[in-house]
Amino acid sequence: MGYNPASVKGPVLNFFTIAILGEITGMTQAPLQGRAALVTGAGVGIGRAVAEALAGAGGFVGLHYHSSEQGARETLAAIEARGGRGVLLPADLGDADQARRLVNDFVGHAGRLDVLVNNAGSPLRRTRIEDCPLDLWQQVLTVNLTSAFVVTQQAVPHLRASGNGSIINNLTLSIQTGGANGAGPYAIAKGGLQVMTRTLARELAPAVRTNAIMPGVIETRHHEVFSTPERMQQYRQETPLGRNGLAEEVAAVVLFLASDAARFVNGALIDINGGRFLR
């Protein structure tokens, strides 16, 4: 039988990823054993897959959610069913006080913070720049950039104290396309997060490594909302690997960046798009 990527899900992918990381690092225990990771937007899609991957690698995981409480609860249940550990953390990251409290609450549960994954974000709705209302513009910047700034700023002292601090920012392929089909404000906000990644990589090193991922088209609820089935098929045809990506495949890269296997990786941007766009 040939390789069927759609059949490679959660714990199976984690098993192979963890085994490879063990070979690279020489570690005999799980690569995140004894560490604590906070994942924003962990209730659905890429965030859920990332939370499951980090927990599967031995990490104690904070599952932040805002509107996806049911999804976050299901994620935690899946983690615990496999012997992992985590905690649910509700917060509206558009509220700076709640964003700061999120970090403090997680450290209160975990006793430490080693990995921060700034995953939460959304285009909210599609609009051309010339038609974008100011309030929507400000909301998109808040959801995708300012919230990550506030959470990161609050997390930095804990990440410095870790000795293994790592920040991974989730960007978007829209940065490279210029926000096609009305995703301009979203692309601009995520572009700011890309620059913040570079800034933090210089400012926080050597105590904390900061990197970013740029997923291409991933088969998640995001595209069920913002892309038509016809457009999703077009994406598959435009991709050299002949398919769209899986959330678990993105999570595997995040796990790599969070682990000691990436201990000399800082300021990097890793494309996960099946070759659809090359830089």
Catalytic amino acids? 186
Cα separation, 254 vs 213, whole angstroms: 8
DSSP for residue 89 = E
DSSP for residue 207 = T
Q: CB of 54 within 8 A of CB of 110?
A: no
Q: CB of 44 within 8 A of CB of 220?
A: yes
DSSP per position, 173-196: THHHHTSGGGBHHHHHHHHHHHHH
SS3 for 106-128, per residue?
Answer: HHHHHCCCCEEEECCCCCCCCEC
Return phi, psi of residue 240, to 5°. -55, -35
**What is the chain's Cα-based Rg?**
18
Q: Sheet containing 115-118: which strands, arranged edge to edge?
A: 85-90, 60-65, 36-39, 115-118, 165-170, 208-215, 269-272
Q: What is the largest CA-CA distance in the chain?
A: 55
Give bridge partners of residue 63 from the DSSP assignment: 39, 88
CA dihedral of 32, 35, 38, 42, whole degrees rounded to 10? 40
